[in-house]
Structure 1
Amino acid sequence: MSVNKRVLWCFTLLLVTSSGCPATGTGGVALRPDGTPGPEKCSEEALKAMRYLRLSVGDAALVELDMNQDDVSPITLYDGPIESMLEGNLGVLESPTRLYGRVWTRGQQAVIRYYEAKPPDGDRVPICAVARSSKGQLRKHPDSKPGTAILDFSSSMAFIVDEFR
């Protein structure tokens, strides 16, 4: 068993034996006047998991944003849940780990927050990460309809955070 798999297995065991369920963090986020999500704290479970996995603020990896639109250009994102996939390794989370989160499409660009990761051979693990791209790559096309964000690119970087701002 590789070190990464051993660490993930031990962490999964820790999560299963701990009390309570990790929050998915997808409900109850206050919205700003422009409709984008406001600040949100990471759950204690996610902070603990990221410390255990040695994921630090700023660690990043390339992600395919929407597995329902893999390698398509342009793509259309919708408000609500999203399943993305790591294209590279994020610490011990190896490609093709899935990232689960939520998309908000109001405002000038799409906002994507990730709350869980699921390695290919493991259970879901709580995390806090955001999709972030330079040069306006998450900026919506002007012809995006309400509740959608048409983007030029199907991939972005996912960055570990300790809270959502």
Structure 2
Amino acid sequence: MSNAMWTRGVEWLAAAASDPRACKRGWDQGEGVALLEAGRYWDLVSVPDRLGLLTLDLLWRPSLPVPGPTLVDTAAHRVGFFLPPDPDSRWIGAGLRHASSGAWVAVPPPYRPSRFLEWVIPPDGSGALHAPATLELALRQANGTLAVLEPVSRPEGFAGPPLP
């Protein structure tokens, strides 16, 4: 990513802060993480990391536009997809969290990771986000794939030989 794209990405992301200058200073001089309010420029859908990374892999198709900003939280084992704000949308699913108006999201600067947060796809400043319908289809496909790949678990209290 070019320096101009980094700069535009920083400006675009910091615009979600109540004080964009303080936000940028905090990224450079403070903890390196800013709390930004969702719902104005973007919403965030957060899913468990295995589901999120498989979903992102499915979104990297030549027939689809480049995926929007995507953040990984390695401490919480979650992947967050930035999408257009929609206060009326209802994202429902096991382990799925939707941050919209009134919710706060911790984000590092687009140009480096900070503590446990890092961008897989940083914002480029264009305002491009994940398309909700495309993201939903990829999540459904990834969830179906994970269901097939899950190892057979041993019932509680089972004392017999290992299951094949």
- TM score, norm. by length of structure 1: 0.23
Higher strand share: 1
Bigger CA radius of gyration: 2
**Structure richer in helix, relative to its length:** 2
TM-score, normalised via structure 2 length:
0.23
Q: Which has the higher contact order (CA 8 A, sep 6+)?
A: 2
